[in-house]
Structure 1
Amino acid sequence: MKNKRFLILLLPLLAACSEFIEPSIGSREIGLLAPANRLETNSYQQTFWWNPMADALYYRLQVVSPRFDSVSKVLLDTLINKDKFVYTLDPGKYEWRVRGENGSSASAYAQRSLVIYPSSLSDQELQLSLPSNGLSVSKPQVRYEWLKLFGATTYRLQVDRNNFLDEKSMDLNITTENLVFLQTLSAEGNYQFRVRAENATQNSKWSTIRTLTYDATGPERPVLSTPLNRQLVSRPVRLVWNKVADADKYELWVYKSDGDTPYNSSYPKILTATELSFDAGDPGEVVAWRVRAFDKAGNVGAYSELRTFTIQ
């Protein structure tokens, strides 16, 4: 009888522990989708693609030349959390493989081979690295990066605010032998950029057009809604403020009655919502609070007014 009671008490503990036990993926293998095994192609840019694996937190992709049993060059050995990775290679013979990994185990590798033949530069598309598409920045300095493209001697970078409709009035239209270029943007706004590879006789296809936003202006000051200043309220207290047009997140401060000492170690709180339920405090206690907004570029706006309320 005692053993049965002990088991009944132990079962909830075992169930709780099982939620924290990470499943082993050591006996599994990734299902590769592309490129096809033993593919022979003249396309330098390849999309490595595989089936997602349950319980894998990320994937290790390795690409070598010419073979894993006779490596002369390691092109990639990277961890990613998606099931697809795009990379530009030179002509040559390659082997590539992928495995799933989590915090305590790794699956078996799945492996394929690939041959890339030299081709016309005009058949190729250049691959951008930085900045990421849609990036917002608060500083005017921008670093552009792209991958080397076989057969290129120079690279043309174009930056514009009018979708490249007039090459004579673009913000930037330069050539460089490097794979990196630093630019100081002239004004706040939305920009488009693209890069292509060039040599004496040919140009590659333009890269995919990416956008970035230069925003050095902080968001507007939030306006507090409820509770009213110095209002007597019951717990829980809904702290509500208006939505700021260009805000990406909000920083909420709750203070002791002096309006300066954080109420506890959980403040300030970073929120995307425009309200919070405050359920603390003793009857008669005075609590102060205020909010400020941050935009996507990281600019911070002015604080709202400082309000107080009293717990009844």
Structure 2
Amino acid sequence: MKTISKIILLATTMILFSCEDILEEDITNDTIQTVSPIEKDTISSNVVNFQWNIIKGATNYRVQVFNENLAVVLDSLVGNKVSLTHPFLPGTYKWRVRGENAGYQSVYSFPVGFTVVQSNDLTNQQVVLSNPISGLYTNSTSLICTWQDLIPADYYELELVNVTAGQTIILQQSNITSTSVTLNNANLAQDAEYLWKIKAVNATSQSVFSNRNFFIDRVNPNQPQNSLPANNSTQTVNQPIAFTWTMPSDAGTIQSQINYTIEFSNTTTFATILQTSTSATTMIQQSFANAGDYYWRVKAVDAASNVSTYSTAFKFTIN
């Protein structure tokens, strides 16, 4: 009977581990048809829009671009979509694409050559933004926005929008001849989601706005509160202990993602930190090999680098 049970358990395990591969469609011999750019295309823009046809069974697509020396200048895994826009310097390139899923990869499409040339017409060009990254959370009172120089541009125009306040434009600036702007506390007075937008302008044309968002959050997280193990509890040596705590709701306008730092000490003042752990949830498990008295506390750190006060320390004894 035990032998039969083991066989059933082994078979079940094999099914579970291989289930994903069984469900994935074999696309090994499939080839993607590219749509744009086509062979010998000349693109009068600083950005190239790659497009291809979907293949059944692919959950991702990998796009590769080579320069005239056959060096890889782009190797990008995009999601379940059939286009990718990317900036390029003037030059000659080749591109190809393949489909992928968790178990298989298709063959690459036949390489397609294209040329990027510089144009003074900004209509179909884009300003390539550098920093800050999209979706940044920060508590800073000063933020430097930078972008790549677009050679045909005479100058740039900036708009800063408070999205939280209802798409309110709080700053407009033109005739910017550098490739950076510093936003100060006067511009970023409120905790909010902001959108910064840049476009290039010359005597005959202008680009569309390129934009990214960021979040200003200057409110410290609330103080965590220890839950378990209860204060002055007794635990067993070398046995996992679940440490849990609660976190009051964030009252700030922007609720940044919170992570936790948990500290263990053998002194009430935490003069000596025996171990530090981090967690994205309000629980960790920890065991202790040595008997004695221990103390633990937690602090919260949000994505904008705001830090709470430590929770009130709890004591526990290992026997």
1:1-312 alignment runs, 5 A limit: 35-47=37-49, 62-63=66-67, 67-68=68-69, 82=77, 86-89=85-88, 93-96=91-94, 112-116=112-116, 118=119, 120-162=121-163, 165=167, 167=169, 170-186=170-186, 187-190=189-192, 191-207=194-210, 209-234=211-236, 235-243=239-247, 245=250, 246=255, 247-257=257-267, 259-263=270-274, 267-282=275-290, 285-312=292-319
What's the TM-score once normalised by structure 2's chain length?
A: 0.66
For residues 79-135 of structure 1, give each alpha carbon's deviation from its aligned partner in whole angstroms, at most 9, with x where no partner exists.
766459743346x55224689xxxxxxxx9x85421346373233333322211110
Deviation, 1:294, is 0.5
Deviation, 1:201, is 3.5
Deviation, 1:301, is 1.4
- Cα pair distance change 1:295/1:197, threshold 3 Å: same
CA distance in 2, matches of 1:311, 1:275: 19
Residue identity in the other structure for 2:258: D
Residue identity in the other structure for 1:229: N
Deviation, 1:231, is 1.7
Query: Identity across aligned pairs (percent)?
Result: 20
Secondary structure at the aligned position of 1:171 is classed as: strand
For residues 150-182 of structure 1, give each alpha carbon's deviation from its aligned partner in whole angstroms, at most 9, with x where no partner exists.
532111011121478555xx2343431122222
- RMSD of the alignment, in Å? 3.8
For residues 209-229 of structure 1, give each alpha carbon's deviation from its aligned partner in whole angstroms, at most 9, with x where no partner exists.
321112233211111111221
8 Å CA contact 1:32, 1:49 repeated in 2: no
- Cα pair distance change 1:148/1:96, threshold 3 Å: farther
Task: Report how many aligned residue pairs link the two structures.
Answer: 257
Deviation, 1:286, is 1.3
Q: Please identify runs of 4+ aligned residues in structure 1 that moved more than 6 A.
A: none
- Cα pair distance change 1:219/1:31, threshold 3 Å: same
- Cα pair distance change 1:39/1:201, threshold 3 Å: closer
Q: Unaligned regions of 5+ residues in structure 1, if any?
A: 1-29, 52-57, 70-75, 100-107
Q: Unaligned regions of 5+ residues in structure 2, if any?
A: 1-30, 55-61, 98-107
8 Å CA contact 1:88, 1:149 repeated in 2: no
Deviation, 1:189, is 1.7
What's the TM-score once normalised by structure 1's chain length?
A: 0.67
CA distance in 2, matches of 1:185, 1:229: 44
- Cα pair distance change 1:143/1:60, threshold 3 Å: farther
Deviation, 1:311, is 2.5
CA distance in 1, matches of 2:190, 2:65: 39
CA distance in 1, matches of 2:271, 2:91: 65
